[in-house]
Amino acid sequence: MQRVSFRDMNCSVAQALEVVGEWWSLLVVRDALLGVTRFDDFHRRLGISRNVLNDRLGRLVAEGVLEKVVYQHHPPRYDYVLTEKGRDLWEVLDAMRRWGDRWAAPPAGPPMELVHRRCGHRTTPTLHCGECGEVLRHGDVRLVHGPGADDRSPQLRDSPVGSGAEGRR
Amino acid sequence: MQRVSFRDMNCSVAQALEVVGEWWSLLVVRDALLGVTRFDDFHRRLGISRNVLNDRLGRLVAEGVLEKVVYQHHPPRYDYVLTEKGRDLWEVLDAMRRWGDRWAAPPAGPPMELVHRRCGHRTTPTLHCGECGEVLRHGDVRLVHGPGADDRSPQLRDSPVGSGAEGRR
């Protein structure tokens, strides 16, 4: 597949993708999280070919990230709706958004911001340890092999994230 | 570029990529976060062609995610070391890891786990509101346009994440 540039989109997620890979599928999920459900709307917003979009949507449906919901029977027409598995990608998209904001935002500031419905503030989510509650930063954590590790898992090396010191359980 | 399957790697990050896109670059960053710095080590661990790896490393250097540090002068040999911008991708990788753990982990459990160095526990990071400190889940937040928004930014729609109700500042 030919590489497409996301550079000209004013979207931090797209900026992150410009740096780290081709990823129409995640932009489809991004738009689905923004409430888009119709083929023609994805097509108009993403500006990709109908073939590529059709391929990506079909794959996301096959993977259980999106599901097709009939909204018209004759002829059949579908909404593409995120499943729980799909909605759960919001943390990935949001991590990309935050990274893009820090490293590729326009001079005026981030193009998109998150509002916490309950407290009402524009907010930047922070990662905390699920055990002690402290804020987690790179260097505060290391990776170890979990119960599902096998010889196809990434090998561990000494590193800021990742240390083989503990080995496997 | 031809699509490659990550399915057979026992790594939740790779599982997430299998679903949502081609992304060798992020796997290079994953391994760099695990302490890999040498071309041959990346090559051996990722199992991609030297050409593709060379291309991805070169691009990550050009984007300021990795930097080349000479470790041998005659002939010149380099370590590929993450910059601050590169290390900062750990939150993206970790969000992918958590998603892959939830939706594509082997029956035995996650292949990799995170240990919080300070408290010493194996932990699952949680996202919290940077303003009020509450745990954030999908549906607790909505996207609004930020100060850097313009007509190339994603349009907002009513949705669990994303609502145009506030418009721009």
Max distance between CA atoms of chain B, in angstroms, equals: 62
**Cβ pair A162:B34 closer than 8 A:** yes
The answer, yes or no, to whether residue B155 has pLDDT greater than 70, is: yes
pLDDT in tens, A130-162: 999 999 998 999 988 888 887 777 777 654 454
Q: How far is B105 from chain A, CA to nearest CA, in Å?
A: 7
Report pLDDT for A96. 81
- Collect contacts of B62-65 with beta carbons under 8 A, ≥24 apart: B63/A19, B65/A19, B65/A20, B65/B29, B65/B89
pLDDT in tens, B63-102: 888 999 999 999 999 999 999 988 988 998 888 888 888 8
Average pLDDT over residues B16-39: 73
- Please name the residues in contact with B78: beta carbons below 8 A apart, sequence gap of 6 or more: B39, B68, B69, B70, B71
pLDDT in tens, A80-126: 999 998 898 899 888 888 888 888 777 888 888 899 999 999 999 99
Rounded CA-CA distance A148/A63 in Å is 21
pLDDT in tens, A8-67: 544 444 344 444 445 678 878 888 988 999 999 999 887 778 988 898 898 889 888 899
Report pLDDT for A119. 96
Please report residues of B whose CB lies closer than 8 A to that of A152. 8-11
Query: Token pair for residue B129?
Result: 């509101």
**pLDDT band for position B8 (cuts 50, 70, 90):** low
Give the DSSP H or E segment for A50.
Answer: helix A50-62
Please report residues of A whose CB lies closer than 8 A to that of B21. 21-26
**Cβ pair A130:B130 closer than 8 A:** no
**pLDDT band for position B169 (cuts 50, 70, 90):** very low
Model ipTM? 0.82
CB atoms < 10 A from the CB of B119, how many? 13
Please report residues of B whose CB lies closer than 8 A to that of A2. 1
